[in-house]
């Protein structure tokens, strides 16, 4: 969602926690994908079991079916209508009335005579977005995806759900699944990268973690909602095969494996039909083919009809009926009195209304919400939240470059505190905090914004970034108590460069703020012209100036999307921290000084320049967003076009080294492929390697050069080796047949590669014969 942004548009236009996986464990698999080794902090061990899918899910579902059917039969027409639309937007005080404690995104009253509780919802992309609730700001979802840790994704969902529930919210609106087709998308930080298998698998785990806490998880924005420019009016023009093999595959995995209770349909049109009244998307695919049992909820004001949307499969309208207040903003409800009239007239059958209500009640029963609704008024355990945020951040930070300074044969990182006499920390407000993304995907700063002075021209659509009070500068000083550590704010590049010249090491912090509702103009680090609200100087010029004089220079990035790096060859180290959450300063210092060995890998390609993108520019004057690259989304584009990226998909360095050997492949009786190989830690530090498996399909199928089909995250002590088994379900090798409208595995020879990234030149390769499957 989008609440403040939505209102602004209306005004203007009149709007599971994980367990540590040790080297003697083997990777397992399920129907839709391999479950990588978990390398999760000990802090999440208690929540591990809760984040796993319940063994009695089907039994619970059958009971929920029966109970929901009985309740539906007892409801009056007015009560049914009441249950399928919101009553306004609590966070901005539109609509209602609401209970005084409700400060989230939406609210639907219950039916007390039948024991049906009200349902309050809150945004929760990277934490609960409720003002003054002191909730935990976790690292952004793009950072979570960088961990490639499925168990950590479950823990992430668990943490958010616990905080939702203690505050009284039974539904969280996190769970963004849209692929990074357009890296300048202002919501890239809310999503989990460019690959459907990685995104879908991580989303499913997050969903299971959330729903293990008796909170409804949301998967959004369904579908092909991959840029913010004209997001409410644009038409995604995309062919069937491209949809199925890219973004819809991510949603399919998320839905089939995660069993979310809520799927949110998006603002945009898909091939000329609004997503929230698109019967192919909502009913034919989601409900009938994938077996989705939950409810389909509109994004806030994404519904444009009564009969068309109801018959297409929309089950819940948000924000729903705002009454006179909504009319003043041009927001009307199609599911309040209008839906009642349509049912009475017979244009929407009672059976369809009953199904809408049934899906909601079934979900509430199956997840334990009907029998045990959340009670508002609790307080968030900030100590536990901070602990968990730090654990996620440790696995989210990607080491992109680790070179040696002139005259040294040692990599610049990790820093050895005992050998440092002077450190200069420069820019990025590193003296006071770390950056967060904006919009509904943001999380309020529990103890106030670390950076003051920004003035937004529109109070409903803030252009001012949130900075959490987790100072990297302070954490760095604590790591090197014997060193002199000084800070320069970056506004005087000459002064910063001069200080860097005499220091043992210079650490420059660079930031890129992004938010829902607006795409980035480009992937360059913003200066004071590109982002005047949050940036006072030219960041690229600062880095160049410091690099020209520093003995050793490290750049730490806090960003939501890839950035171009014209200065890359001039710096010794680059650390990708994303939006690292409320413990980000500490986590960055832990990585810089080697107290934590980085294990994260990129979930998205970093291009060298915008000209290398499939869509070189975003045209605000063209409402048709044509997916002309077809199947070549993300790394597939760079592979097929032989474009050298700045950093490839799946890339990330460590403070130790790894080697792969002995790849063998075979098929089982179900047509699944098992890839077996050995990963060895050949360095001097314990660490964790994300061992990725890619497949090249037989020629003549019109497929990209390779696709990710599985991975394992392996924890290894120094000198230790481990045999890894990655099970590749047959479906991972399938293509979409547009004639039969189904998945098909073509018989033939498939090349399987085990690699440290999508561009690993030392990848192991083995061919395996696969039989035809329909």
Which residues belong to the active site? 299
Instruction: Tell which residue, 621, 612, 528, has the closest CA to residue 562.
Output: 612
Distance CA 338, CA 81 (A): 10
Instruction: Tell which residue, 680, 750, 752, has the closest CA to residue 711.
Output: 752
**What DSSP designation does 300 have?**
T
Beta strands in 385-519 (DSSP E): 398-402, 422-426, 434-435, 467-468, 484-488, 505-512
| Maximum pairwise Cα distance, the chain | 83
Only one residue has tokens 């060859």, namely: 569
What's the residue count for the chain? 774
Query: Residue 79: in which H helix or E strand, if any?
Result: helix 77-82
Three-state DSSP string of 616-649: CCCCCCCCEEECCCCCCCCHHHHHHCCCCCCECC
Kindly give, in sequence order, each residue whose CB lies less than 8 Å from that of residue 70, ignoring residues fewer than 6 positions away: none
Q: State the burial class of residue 570 (Cβ atoms within 10 Å of its Cβ: 0-12, 13-18, 19+).
A: middle
Residue 288: count of CB within 10 angstroms of its CB: 11
Contact at 8 Å (CB) between 392 and 439? no
Residue 735: count of CB within 10 angstroms of its CB: 17
What order do you get walking across the sheet with 505-512 strand by strand? 398-402, 573-576, 553-559, 505-512, 422-426, 484-488
Kindly give, in sequence order, each residue whose CB lies less than 8 Å from that of residue 407, ignoring residues fewer than 6 positions away: none
Q: Residue 473 has which token pair?
A: 């500068």
**Distance of alpha carbon 190 from the chain centroid:** 5
Q: Residue 739 has which token pair?
A: 């004639």
Round the CA-based radius of gyration of the chain to a whole number and report it: 25
Kindly give, in sequence order, each residue whose CB lies less than 8 Å from that of residue 326, ignoring residues fewer than 6 positions away: 88, 94, 95, 319, 332, 333
Q: Residue 84 has which token pair?
A: 């399928």
């Amino acid at each position: 969602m989008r609440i403040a942004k939505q209102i602004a548009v209306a005004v203007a236009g009149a709007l599971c926690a994980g367990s540590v996986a040790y080297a003697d464990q083997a990777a397992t698999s399920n129907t839709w994908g391999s479950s990588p080794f978990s390398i999760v902090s000990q802090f999440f061990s208690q929540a591990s079991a809760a984040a796993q899918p319940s063994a009695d899910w089907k039994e619970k579902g059958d009971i929920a079916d029966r109970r929901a059917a009985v309740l539906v039969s007892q409801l009056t027409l007015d009560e049914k209508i009441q249950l399928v639309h919101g009553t306004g937007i609590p966070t901005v005080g539109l609509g209602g009335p609401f209970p005084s404690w409700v400060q989230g995104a939406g609210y639907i009253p219950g039916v007390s005579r039948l024991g049906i509780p009200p349902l309050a919802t809150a945004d929760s992309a990277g934490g609960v977005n409720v003002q003054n609730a002191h909730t935990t700001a976790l690292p952004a979802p793009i950072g979570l995806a960088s961990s490639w840790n499925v168990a950590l994704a479950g823990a992430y969902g668990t943490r958010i759900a616990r905080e939702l529930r203690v505050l009284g919210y039974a539904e969280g609106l996190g769970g963004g699944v849209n692929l990074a087709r357009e890296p300048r998308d202002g919501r890239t930080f809310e999503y989990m990268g460019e690959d459907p298998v990685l995104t879908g698998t991580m989303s499913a785990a997050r969903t299971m973690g959330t729903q293990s806490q008796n909170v409804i998880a949301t998967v959004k924005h369904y579908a092909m909602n991959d840029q913010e420019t004209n997001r409410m009016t644009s038409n995604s023009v995309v062919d069937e095969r491209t949809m199925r093999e890219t973004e819809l595959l991510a949603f399919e995995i998320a839905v089939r494996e995660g069993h979310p209770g809520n799927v949110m349909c998006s603002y945009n049109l898909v091939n000329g039909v609004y997503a929230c009244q698109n019967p192919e998307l909502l009913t034919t695919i989601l409900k009938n083919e994938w077996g989705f049992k939950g409810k389909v909820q509109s994004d806030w004001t994404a519904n444009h009809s009564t009969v068309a949307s109801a018959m297409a499969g929309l089950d819940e309208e948000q924000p729903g009926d705002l009454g006179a207040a909504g009319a003043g903003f041009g927001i009307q409800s199609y599911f309040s009195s209008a839906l009642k009239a349509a049912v009475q007239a017979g244009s929407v059958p009672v059976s369809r209304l009953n199904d809408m209500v049934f899906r909601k009640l079934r979900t509430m029963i199956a997840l334990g919400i009907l029998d045990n609704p959340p009670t508002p008024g609790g307080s968030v355990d900030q100590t536990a939240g901070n602990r968990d945020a730090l654990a996620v951040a440790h696995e989210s930070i990607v080491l992109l470059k680790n070179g040696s300074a002139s005259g040294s044969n040692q990599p610049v990182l990790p820093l050895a505190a005992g050998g440092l006499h002077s450190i200069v920390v420069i820019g990025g407000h590193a003296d006071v905090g770390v950056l967060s993304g904006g919009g509904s995907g943001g999380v309020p700063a529990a103890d106030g914004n670390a950076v003051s002075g920004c003035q937004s021209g529109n109070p409903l659509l803030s252009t001012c970034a949130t900075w959490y009070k987790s100072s990297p500068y302070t954490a760095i000083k604590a790591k090197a108590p014997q060193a002199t550590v000084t800070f320069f704010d970056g506004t005087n590049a000459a002064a910063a460069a001069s200080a860097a010249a005499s220091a043992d090491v210079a650490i420059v912090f660079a930031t890129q703020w992004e938010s829902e509702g607006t795409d980035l103009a480009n992937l360059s680090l913003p200066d004071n012209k590109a982002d005047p609200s949050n940036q006072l100087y030219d960041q690229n010029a600062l880095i160049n100036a410091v690099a020209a004089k520093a003995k050793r220079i490290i750049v730490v990035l806090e960003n939501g999307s890839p950035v171009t790096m014209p200065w890359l060859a001039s710096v010794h180290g680059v650390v990708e921290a994303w939006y690292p959450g409320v413990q980000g300063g500490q986590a960055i210092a832990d990585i810089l000084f080697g107290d934590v060995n980085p294990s994260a890998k990129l979930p998205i390609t970093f291009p060298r320049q915008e000209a290398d993108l499939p869509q070189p520019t975003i045209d605000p004057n063209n409402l048709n967003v044509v997916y002309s690259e077809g199947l070549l989304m993300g790394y597939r584009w760079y592979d097929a076009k032989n474009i050298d990226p700045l950093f490839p998909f799946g890339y990330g360095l460590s403070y130790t080294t790894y080697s792969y050997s002995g790849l063998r492949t075979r098929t089982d009786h179900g047509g699944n492929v098992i890839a077996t190989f050995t990963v060895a830690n050949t360095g001097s530090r314990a660490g964790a390697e994300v061992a990725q498996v890619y497949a090249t399909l037989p020629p003549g199928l019109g497929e990209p050069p390779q696709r990710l089909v599985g991975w394992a995250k392996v924890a290894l002590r120094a000198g230790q080796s481990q045999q890894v088994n990655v099970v590749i379900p047959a479906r991972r090798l399938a293509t979409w047949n547009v004639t039969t409208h189904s998945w098909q595995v073509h018989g033939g020879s498939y090349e399987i590669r085990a690699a440290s990234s999508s561009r690993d030149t030392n990848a192991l390769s083995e061919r395996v014969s696969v039989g035809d499957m329909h």
